[in-house]
Amino acid sequence: MGINEDIKRLRDCGEVRCGVLPYSAPTPATVAKAFELRDDDACYREIDESTAHSFVAEVLHRDQAYSVEIITAAQAEQLTGKFFEQFGAQARYFTNNWCPVTDATFDVGVLVIGVLQSGCLWVEDEY
């Protein structure tokens, strides 16, 4: 099993969209559309790698409504690091800019545009 499947299996509540596209997407909206998220560039803002890492680790670690632990912080950090390794050092990171990109009550994640491939790790929680 690969890292993307591990993330989906271990983050076992809510809806998890996690995967890699075999190309460098031209815009965040292109990545979003491939993962059935809102494909409007105005919904996404660029963030640095450290912020992206923190967002992903936290959303893997705890649910968005009640902050209930889903997996340990250490495990979330490890999964996040492995997910980001897929995209290389020059990757760019985007998250939603206070703009819902799904119909879920809570949704947050990161879109990644790397030199050779792009990806998504997005979580929706309903309560």
CA-based angle 97:77:80, to the nearest 5? 55
Mean pLDDT value of segment 14-40: 97
Report the pLDDT value the prediction gives residue 41, as an integer from 0 to 100: 96
Count of other CB atoms within 10 angstroms of residue 18: 22
* Domain span at 69: 3-8+16-125
Residue 127 has pLDDT above 70, yes or no: no
- Residue whose token pair is 């640095």: 48
Residue 73 has pLDDT above 90, yes or no: yes
**CA dist., res. 110 & res. 118, Å (int):** 11
Q: Mean pLDDT over all residues of the chain?
A: 95
Mean pLDDT value of segment 114-119: 97
Residue 58 has pLDDT above 70, yes or no: yes
Structural domain count, the chain: 1
